[in-house]
A and B are shown apart, each in its own frame.
Chain A
Amino acid sequence: MIKLENVTKIYKGEVPALRDANVNIDKGEFVFLVGASGSGKSTFIRLLNKEEEPTQGRIFVAGKDIGALNGWKVPYLRRNIGYVFQDFKLLPTKTVFENVAFALEVIGRPSHVIKSQVPAILELVGLTKKVDSFPGELSGGEQQRVSVARAFVNRPLILLADEPTGNLDPATSVGIMRLLDRINRTGTTVVMATHDRGIVDTMRRRVIELDKGHIVRDQSRGVYE
């Protein structure tokens, strides 16, 4: 599903943020990216989404070399990739329903699809009662559920999560992880960067550890350290 071949990323002539990475992630895998701050986790994730271009090497997503992708095709790549952030990136002037619907609307989905899929996904994340609330009226955990719903509403093949529990307390984090686990069980490949030792150690999934851009460990059913 995801393959990195000798990928190096150097931001504007500085020290490499990612060095000669070779990774193969199969469909349906759940992968944790761990490592100190600045080790290159976010860079890894942004490369998959073509938010950043690799300085060297090739990246394949769903069998396609995304480096060879025309600019106008990038949106179609992204429709297959859900993205969850530490800071949620919800639109404050839209309700929960509208935030999720927005993701479908702007890729041209017809309104009958929106009307059936948005309530379904909000039920999956357990926010049926909050459809008409605004993000400002929700707890951090609830906001992150909305953002997961938005990332998953189009049923992407891949879900990228950059420290999705970074702003949440441990109990709330567990809830979000249950949700991501559930999404993973539908066959969606999940790649998640995290500093949360407790989560990594309880989930026991594949762990890729980065250190100053080097992949120093790639372990199935791994732990944080």
Chain B
Amino acid sequence: MAMNIRYVARETGTNLRRNFSLTLASVVTVAVSLTLFGAALVFAQGVGNMTARWKGGIEFIVFMQPSATQEQLDSVQRALEDNPEVTQVSYVDKPAAYEEFKQLFARSKDMVEAVDENAMPPSFRVAPATSDADVIQALGQAFQKKAGVREVVFAFETVRTMQRITRIASIVIVGVAVFLLVAAVLLILNTIRMAMFARRREIEVMKLVGATNWFIRVPFMIEGLVHGIVGAAVAIVGVQGLNWAFDRGLSNNRDLKIFQGFVISGSQMSFTTLLLVGLGCLIGALGSGIAVSRFLDV
């Protein structure tokens, strides 16, 4: 089907202008919902990065000396694996430890530069069978005196609390965001429906002279997509802004040491950005798609 780009651009432009207030309402709703969604995602990612090493029931970590020998490593590993109180042990070697260090201290470039891979302590991450704090404490302490062990670090109560709060906050925020997303779809649907009503004479003539269904639909579909994409663009700016403000607040505050690890990597930000654009398109396509298929029959 021959589709004149200028025609589509002109029709879409007219529609957007004609329904300015409704268009604005749709865009703002999309933007607010996607900002909430993106912020929740970024926050969860940040906390996830910060507490990455404590995932999956890991309750303590046995850090070895960087100079520990292979025998010492083997001996500690065997002791952990043979212990009936331990359900899972995973070994983190020097390169992996260095990667993690780089991520955790991404905010302090000088620190990362001062350390090299060889100076990193290899470690064992241990998930015990029990959740009894005293038993775990005793279990971990037992390894403190083993040859080649540098220190045993336990999951802080704060880490656990962080994880719990993040989980609850994420669920609440995402719930609100989903609610708003549905509202956004309905608003777009309604806006497109109004646009079609405003153009009912044109649509009638188009049908009579033999314009295809798609030709009639496409400008309205694009209008919906524009709502979604513009809303997503605003949301992306909002999320980046929030992240930036948070980042600055942290850099200036040495007291919040625990948040040092709260760093969103470039690829995580790209993922969030793409996700928001995708969601924006989806909302726009959904709203306008329902509108054109329900209210534009030949």
Task: Flag whether B4 is at the interface (Cβ < 8 A).
Answer: yes
Is the CB–CB distance between A79 and B209 below 8 Å? yes
Is the CB–CB distance between A89 and B205 below 8 Å? yes
Q: Could you write out 26 A-B pairs with CB less than 8 Å apart?
A: A71-B298, A74-B298, A75-B210, A75-B211, A75-B212, A78-B207, A78-B209, A78-B210, A79-B210, A81-B210, A89-B204, A89-B205, A91-B205, A102-B209, A106-B7, A106-B205, A106-B209, A106-B211, A106-B215, A107-B212, A108-B1, A108-B2, A108-B3, A108-B4, A110-B4, A150-B205
We find that the number of chain A residues with CB closer than 8 angstroms to chain B is: 26
Q: Which residue of B lies closest to A150 (CB)?
A: B209
CB-based closest 7 A-B pairs: A108-B2, A78-B210, A79-B210, A106-B211, A103-B209, A75-B210, A75-B212
Is the CB–CB distance between B213 and A75 below 8 Å? yes
Report the separation of the CA atoms of residues A49 and B215 in the bound assembly, to the nearest whole angstrom. Answer: 19
The residues of B that contact A103 with a CB separation of less than 8 Å are 205, 209
Is the CB–CB distance between B209 and A107 below 8 Å? yes
What mask results when residues 1 to 17 of chain B are scored 1 for a CB within 8 Å of chain A, else 0? 11110010000000000
Q: Which residue of B lies closest to A82 (CB)?
A: B209
Chain B: minimal CB distance from A62 (Å): 14
Report the separation of the CA atoms of residues A110 and B213 in the bound assembly, to the nearest whole angstrom. Answer: 19
The residues of A that contact B209 with a CB separation of less than 8 Å are 78-79, 83, 102-103, 106-107, 150, 154
Whether A72 contacts B7 in the complex (CB less than 8 A), given A89-B204, A91-B205, comes out as no
Task: Flag whether B202 is at the interface (Cβ < 8 A).
Answer: yes
What mask results when residues 93 to 117 of chain B are scored 1 for a CB within 8 Å of chain A, else 0? 0000000000000000000000000
Task: Flag whether B208 is at the interface (Cβ < 8 A).
Answer: yes
Task: Sort chain B's interface into a size bin.
Answer: 20 to 34
Report the separation of the CA atoms of residues A79 and B210 in the bound assembly, to the nearest whole angstrom. Answer: 5
Task: Flag whether A77 is at the interface (Cβ < 8 A).
Answer: yes
Chain A: minimal CB distance from B45 (Å): 46
Q: How many A-B residue pairs have CB under 8 A?
A: 62
Report the separation of the CA atoms of residues A77 and B216 in the bound assembly, to the nearest whole angstrom. Answer: 16
Q: Among B7, B206, B208, B211, point to the contact of A83 (Cβ < 8 A).
A: B208
The residues of A that contact B208 with a CB separation of less than 8 Å are 49, 78, 83, 89
Chain A: minimal CB distance from B13 (Å): 14
Q: Please report A residues at the B interface, Cβ cutoff 8 Å.
A: 49, 71-72, 74-81, 83, 89, 91-92, 102-103, 105-111, 150, 154
Q: Please report B residues at the A interface, Cβ cutoff 8 Å.
A: 1-4, 7, 201-202, 204-213, 215-216, 298
Whether A102 contacts B205 in the complex (CB less than 8 A), given A71-B298, A75-B212, comes out as yes
Report the separation of the CA atoms of residues A110 and B230 in the bound assembly, to the nearest whole angstrom. Answer: 31
Q: Among B3, B202, B204, B212, point to the contact of A72 (Cβ < 8 A).
A: B212
Q: Which residue of B lies closest to A102 (CB)?
A: B205
Given A78-B208, A78-B210, A83-B209, output 17 extra A-B contacts at Cβ < 8 Å: A71-B298, A72-B213, A74-B298, A75-B211, A76-B210, A78-B209, A80-B210, A89-B204, A89-B208, A91-B202, A103-B209, A106-B7, A106-B206, A108-B3, A108-B4, A108-B215, A111-B4
Report the separation of the CA atoms of residues A153 and B16 in the bound assembly, to the nearest whole angstrom. Answer: 30
Report the separation of the CA atoms of residues A92 and B1 in the bound assembly, to the nearest whole angstrom. Answer: 28
Q: Which residue of A lies closest to B7 (CB)?
A: A105
The residues of A that contact B207 with a CB separation of less than 8 Å are 75, 78
Report the separation of the CA atoms of residues A71 and B298 in the bound assembly, to the nearest whole angstrom. Answer: 9
Chain A: minimal CB distance from B234 (Å): 31
The residues of B that contact A76 with a CB separation of less than 8 Å are 210
Q: Which residue of A lies closest to B203 (CB)?
A: A106
Q: Which residue of B lies closest to A80 (CB)?
A: B210
Q: Among B201, B205, B210, B213, point to the contact of A77 (Cβ < 8 A).
A: B210
Report the separation of the CA atoms of residues A75 and B204 in the bound assembly, to the nearest whole angstrom. Answer: 12
Q: Which of B205, B207, B298 has the most A CB atoms < 10 Å from its CB? A: B205
